[in-house]
Chain A
Amino acid sequence: EAGVTQFPSHSVIEKGQTVTLRCDPISGHDNLYWYRRVMGKEIKFLLHFVKESKQDESGMPNNRFLAERTGGTYSTLKVQPAELEDSGVYFCASSQGVGTGNYGETQYFGPGTRLLVL
């Protein structure tokens, strides 16, 4: 079974440009999460989808970030316009879940997308 996949693996863009990250969760997983690790800091939660609905977007840093999960399958995270402080590794994770997701459930992580904003 394929794990969580993310595209691209790396992205280097200039400040002010737009970047779109994609995540394909494990097939059948209702829950999809976005996290990021800024250099030197801990991995931080961004948001959580249950199917196509945003269950929790309390970790989104500002309105330059837009996440979608049309059809409840893959998800995209767009950063527009990108700023220097957006550089980091963006992780996607999925879990099977029932309804709104079970706390304590195992989350399966993708390999991450390394974003560098110059």
Chain B
Amino acid sequence: AQRVTQPEKLLSVFKGAPVELKCNYSYSGSPELFWYVQYSRQRLQLLLRHISRESIKGFTADLNKGETSFHLKKPFAQEEDSAMYYCALSEETSGSRLTFGEGTQLTVNP
């Protein structure tokens, strides 16, 4: 079965510092990878998806099939980036349901 691992439950950085939120997955097929974000008192929302190859709010994520990773990166963190970040996967044989990691709580300190 597919699995998504986010090794860090908590991550704290200072404003302006680079940030990387790690995500590893186990699945042998061709998954679709996502990063979802939940800001304080807001609903879960899509941040970016690998197939779009876009940068949202300065964040990027590259799918590395060799390392089965989809780490989320931002070169200069901002205080408003503080939120809960979830890596998620969907794969063709199980329809469109999402498999989530446990999430990483990012805090960006002033």
Q: Is A87 among interface residues, defined by CB-CB distance under 8 A?
A: no
Q: Is B95 among interface residues, defined by CB-CB distance under 8 A?
A: yes
Encode contact with B along A1-31: 1 for CB under 8 Å, 0 otherwise: 0011000000000000000000000000001
What chain A residues lie within 8 Å of B97 (beta carbons)?
A: 33, 45, 48, 56, 59
Give bound CA distance, A41 to B92, whole Å. Answer: 25
How many of chain B's residues have a CB under 8 angstroms from any CB in A?
23
Interface bracket on A: 20 to 34
Residue from the list B49, B92, B95, B100 in contact with A106, Cβ < 8 A: B49
Q: Which of B75-110 contact A (CB under 8 A)?
A: 86, 90-92, 94-103
CB-based nearest B residue for A89: B44
Beyond known contacts A33-B97, A104-B49: 7 more, CB 8 A cutoff: A41-B102, A42-B101, A44-B100, A48-B97, A103-B90, A106-B49, A111-B43
User: Could you give 6 example pairs across A and B, Cβ below 8 Å?
Assistant: A3-B43, A4-B43, A48-B95, A97-B96, A103-B96, A109-B44
**Interface residue ranges, B against A (CB under 8 Å):** 4, 32, 36, 43-46, 49, 51, 86, 90-92, 94-103
